[in-house]
Amino acid sequence: MFAMMTSSTAMVKHPMSPSPSSKTAPFWVGKNGDALRSGSTTAVAPSSLEAGPNWTWTEPVGGLVRATPLLDAERNIYVSTISGSIYKFSISGAQLWRHNAGRLLPVNPVLSNGTIYTVGSDCTVIALDAFSGEAVWTRKAGDGAGTDTASVLAAEGVVVAPCFLAGEEGKYGGNTFIAGLNAQDGKLLWTHRPSAPIYNFLGGIDHGSLIFSDEFGSVKRLDLQTGKIMWEVPAPKSSKKLSTGGTIVGPDRHIYATSNIQDADGVERGVLTSYRMEDGTLLWQKVLPYAANSGPAIGNLGLSALSVVLAIGPNPSLPLQGGGALDLDPLLPNRDDGQRKPGRVLAVDAATGTQQWAFDLPDWHGPAAGDRTDHICLPDSFSNPAIGGDGTAYVAGESGRVYSIKDKNADGEISPEFGETSYFDTKNGFQGAPAIAPGVLAITPCDGLRVFLTSQ
């Protein structure tokens, strides 16, 4: 572990101060990268992973890291832990500060205009100065925040936080409403309660509107300043199968959402759906062979103007003393069979949904890598993908492996023997998605942080 400078900051109010990181745009503001949550960037990251990371940080008390790392304009890296700390590291691994929030932090934080926004387990929204790690403001927006890994959103002067009220705690996490707050002072602007709970909340902000989906895949567009519904579309089918995926917005101003259904044979399958931003018109829908428990990414893979990348497969089991797995609620994605858990990464044409390539990963069985009865991360089958500026897709999942994938000869086949894949085994499952900056790939397996750097 690197620790050249360490400080724990108190939750006190102080004037908003501009920081060096606020002068230019950060490279990776939160889960799926940008305000649209597209999962892509023009920055090129290392793609040869076998040699392992340049440096590693492990959560010092043996706790859990389930959040995606953030990367500011100077390529400093921010990591949030479930136990309640946010760390800032330099690109070389020096610890620059540590903020102790004094409460659990179950969410993916967001970086906007030199400020980090996060939400505690008691639904206290916290704004931190990214340069110093000191608190700018705090605001109670509800009574609690779900233990799932929801994302805080921030853009265009508004922070969006997922929460629930007293008595609404979901059995396995989740939230019941979202709150919009003024990014400068935390003043509550609006609240919105969808008809179904939200789980692993993720959405995009674009041109004064917020786009997100509930846990069954019903997509909504709200006015960002008022919370007023602009349009909403129902879930793809009536089958009540929860997805821990999410909804993103592409640079084409189309919406891409994942959800799950149960087919006529009782098999759980994922659904990837594209809608038009302006009015929610259905553009295309693709039923997938396996469950879709993570969100997609959209970017340029060098195969067509835009491609959507998605990783699919059953979620891992929950470790129990003496082996076995817990019999969970039937609405939840399957965790309790203990059987073969296949995984596949897909690329489809963003305009049509036509498959461009597919890559099958080795089968997984049982709990996620690194999960024990005294260290339960319980991630989804895969974290959301990330797409680099050279067309490389990065995927990490329950096996503990992070993969880079690129169809270099554009033949529609992914061939490891031709150098079109590379991977490194962290031996810990992933909930946090990969993050990219120029020459940097930062990943957060459940035990900490690994950073890959391009050789200079």
Assigned domain for 76 exists: yes
Assigned domain for 1 exists: no
Assigned domain for 45 exists: yes
The pLDDT of 198-203, averaged and rounded, is 95
What does the pLDDT read at residue 1? Answer: 30
Q: What is the pTM of this model?
A: 0.92
What does the pLDDT read at residue 338? Answer: 56
- List C-alpha distances in Å: 42 to 33, 301, 387: 11, 11, 9
Burial of 89 (0-12, 13-18, 19+ CB in 10 A): buried
What does the pLDDT read at residue 86? Answer: 98
Show the 3-state SS of 314-356. CCCECCCCCCCCCCCCCCCCCCCCCCCEEEEEEEEECCCCCEE
Assigned domain for 330 exists: yes
CATH classification of the domain holding 170: 2.140.10.10
Tokens of 118: 């996060």
Of the pLDDT bands very low, low, confident and very high (cuts 50, 70, 90), residue 335 is: low
Assigned domain for 3 exists: no
| Total domain count, the chain | 1
The pLDDT of 210-228, averaged and rounded, is 96
Which residues make Cβ contacts (< 8 Å) with residue 367, sequence separation at least 6?
316, 317, 318, 319, 325
User: Can you give the residue range of the structural domain that contains 243?
Assistant: 8-453
What does the pLDDT read at residue 22? Answer: 44
